């Protein structure tokens, strides 16, 4: 953690008796994990298979850290403590190295929570309802509700009209939002674009909901011309919709106003639909983008969720989920054991996460986030332009910092830069910690590698179907 106490290996001798790294300690215990081997088909290994196949479960046990019992005299010699200190020191070094090559996932790694280290000695648990104090006194509800009030102001809903909580991740926010929709409309049908996060479809399976997948435009945005006939085909049942405020792969923003208009034109009154807005990454960025459509509870939406470990930047996964107070009563139940009310997905909840969110929101404020958003968008445009200049197909949605481009041929390169891939495309998510220097480093390496991947008759793939002809610079679309 940036700003935290640095882990240092102890001196070679402990109490003058034991040397560090002795016995069965493996000096190379912390290494970058190798790519799993590819299983060839019919004994023939094709280049495309070598660069695409993923074999699960092949590379973890070879590098896992075995737990061993302390020696009888360990309290005297301190061998075990010295061994573990060495392992942790190497692990920290590995984390620092891997952080240098982090581009494909939407995590802001630019944070410093050293001031909160003093609170790591406490088991802080926000079990139950954030607004009802339970018998368990070691909690952080006062921080949690402060964070929720901040987001309520951002999404324009009064304090006495909303309910929410700090989730363990963005997926939990989606699970909760869709669950509330299902409880409000038990016979409702869930509609979600094909490019929605996988957790949306997981929710449909978990809750045994009928789910209709809606086509998307080439940008990744929901295609309301396809949504319309699918709504009309089920006019007799309420509609529960997932609206993406930034899709996972392309960073596309569904037009909330057009979705609402489509519902109304199909005969769905406001009391016959529920909209959950999945704003995992961009839900916190969009309010600070000029001319961007607004996510607001002044519109007929039911819930909004964002991730806390993404744009905000937290050392552990977390998120924020807010819904209308009128809806939460259909989901909640009193629990005597807690002396509180249960309305969340999980039972025990991380009480440290609200502290990290509260700390950052106070330090940055609206102006600080606006500055970070402008930096990300500016650097994302820089990356897209440089890719095009290098003859590499790339796309950047207007409201996004997610740059989509052709999938690198070599999976070693993908692994090195921790790129997220889907089919023929990959993406870089430009976050506040991603500098121009880092992008240049990545680009120079990518261009150099491509010169060896594509020689002679081997050509880069055409990805016009994924990003549109205007963004594809393959041999057919130059």
Q: Above 70 in pLDDT, residue 352?
A: yes
pLDDT score at 334: 79
The catalytic residue among 305, 393, 400, 401 is: 400
* CATH ID of 118-363, from 3.55.30.10, 3.40.50.300, 2.40.30.10, 3.40.640.10: 3.40.640.10
pLDDT at 329 (0 to 100): 84
Residues 217-221: what's their mean pLDDT? 97
What pLDDT, on a 0 to 100 scale, did the predictor assign at position 99? 93
Lowest mean pLDDT among 34-43, 158-167, 210-219, 365-374: 34-43
Question: Is the pLDDT reported for residue 47 higher than 60?
Answer: no
| CA 54 to each of CA 57, 257, 415: distance values in angstroms, whole numbers, following the listed order | 10, 40, 12
Per-residue model confidence (pLDDT) at position 52: 54
Cα–Cα dist 79/270, whole Å: 67
Lowest mean pLDDT among 20-29, 78-87, 168-177, 289-298: 20-29
51 classed as catalytic:
no
- pLDDT tens-digit profile of 439-457? 999 999 999 999 999 988 8
Least confident piece of the model among 37-41, 134-138, 316-320, 400-404: 37-41
Q: In what order do the strands lie in the sheet with 189-193?
A: 162-167, 319-324, 303-307, 273-278, 239-244, 189-193, 211-214
Q: Encoding tokens for residue 64?
A: 């896992």
| Mean per-residue pLDDT, 81-105 | 93
Q: Return the domain boundaries, the chain.
A: 118-363, 365-471
Q: What angle do CA 172, 309, 133 make, to 5 degrees?
A: 60
Cα of first residue to Cα of last residue in the chain, in angstroms, is 45
Closest CA to 30 of 96, 120, 93, 123: 93
**pLDDT value of position 336:** 79
| Whole-number Å distance between alpha carbons of 141 and 135 | 13
**What's residue 41's pLDDT?**
41
Structure tokens at 398: 């207007």
pLDDT band for position 30 (50/70/90)?
Answer: very low
CATH of the domain spanning 365-471, picked from 3.40.50.970, 3.30.460.80, 3.90.1150.10, 3.40.5.10: 3.90.1150.10
DSSP symbols for 346-366: SSS-BSSHHHHHHHHHHHHHH
> Concatenated DSSP letters for 265-332?
HTT--GGGEEEEEE-TTTTTTGGGSTTPPPP-TTSS--EEEEESTTTT--SS--EEEEEEHHHHTTT-
pLDDT for the residue 308: 94
| Contact present, 10 and 81 (Cβ < 8 Å) | yes
Beta strands in 325-478 (DSSP E): 333-335, 340-342, 394-396, 402-406, 420-422, 425-429
Q: How many whole angstroms separate alpha carbon 314 and alpha carbon 297?
A: 26
Q: Which of 18-32, 41-55, 272-286, 334-348 has the lowest mean pLDDT?
A: 18-32
Residue 186 has pLDDT above 50, yes or no: yes
Q: What is the pLDDT of residue 20?
A: 38
Which neighbouring-strand residues pair with 211?
Answer: 190
Angle at alpha carbon of residue 53, lines to 51 and 57, rounded to 5°: 125
Residue among 150, 168, 191, 148 at smallest CA distance from 323? 148
Average pLDDT, the chain: 88
Structural Rg of the chain based on CA atoms? 25
Cα gap 363→112, rounded to integer Å:
11
């Amino acid at each position: 953690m940036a700003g935290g106490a640095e882990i240092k290996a102890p001196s070679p001798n402990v109490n003058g008796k034991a040397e560090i790294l002795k016995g069965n300690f493996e000096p190379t215990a912390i290494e970058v994990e190798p790519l799993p081997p590819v299983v060839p088909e019919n004994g023939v290994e094709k280049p495309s298979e070598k660069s695409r196949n993923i074999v699960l479960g092949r590379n973890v046990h070879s590098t896992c850290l075995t737990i061993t019992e302390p020696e009888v005299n360990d309290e005297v010699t301190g061998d075990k403590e010295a061994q573990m200190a060495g392992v942790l020191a190497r692990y920290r070094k590995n984390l620092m190295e891997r952080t240098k090559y982090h581009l494909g996932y939407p995590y802001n790694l630019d944070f410093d929570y050293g001031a909160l280290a003093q609170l790591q000695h406490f088991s802080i648990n926000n079990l139950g309802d954030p607004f009802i104090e339970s018998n368990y006194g070691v909690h952080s509800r006062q921080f949690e509700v402060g964070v929720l009030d901040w987001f309520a102001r951002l999404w324009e809903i009064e304090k006495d009209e909303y309910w929410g909580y700090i989730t363990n991740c963005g997926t939990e926010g989606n699970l909760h939002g869709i669950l509330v929709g299902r409880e409000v409309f038990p016979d409702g049908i869930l509609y979600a674009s094909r490019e929605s996060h996988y957790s949306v479809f997981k929710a449909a399976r978990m809750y045994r909901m009928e789910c209709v997948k809606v086509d998307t435009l080439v940008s990744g945005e929901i295609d309301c011309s396809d949504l319309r006939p699918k709504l009309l085909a089920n006019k007799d049942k309420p509609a529960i919709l997932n609206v993406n405020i930034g899709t996972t792969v392309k960073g596309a923003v569904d037009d909330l106003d057009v979705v609402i208009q489509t519902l109304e034109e199909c005969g769905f009154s406001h009391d016959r639909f529920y909209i959950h807005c999945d704003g995992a990454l961009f839900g916190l960025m969009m309010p600070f983008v000029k001319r961007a459509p607004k996510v607001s509870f002044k519109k007929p939406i039911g819930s909004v969720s964002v991730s806390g470990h993404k744009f905000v930047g937290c050392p552990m996964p977390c998120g924020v989920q807010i819904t209308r107070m009128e809806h939460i009563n259909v989901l909640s139940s009193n629990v005597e054991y807690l002396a509180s009310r249960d309305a969340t997905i999980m039972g025990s909840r991380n009480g440290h996460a609200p502290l990290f969110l509260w700390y950052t929101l106070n330090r940055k404020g609206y102006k600080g986030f606006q500055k970070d958003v402008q930096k990300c968008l500016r650097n994302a445009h820089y990356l897209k332009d440089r890719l095009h200049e290098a003859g590499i197909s790339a796309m950047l949605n207007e409201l996004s910092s997610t740059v989509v481009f052709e999938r690198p041929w070599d999976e070693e390169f993908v692994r090195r830069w921790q790129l997220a891939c889907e089919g023929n495309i990959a993406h870089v998510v430009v976050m506040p910690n991603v500098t121009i220097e880092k992008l240049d480093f990545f680009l120079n390496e990518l261009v150099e590698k491509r010169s060896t991947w594509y020689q002679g008759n081997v050509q880069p793939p055409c990805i016009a179907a994924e990003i549109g002809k205007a963004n594809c610079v393959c041999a057919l679309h130059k």
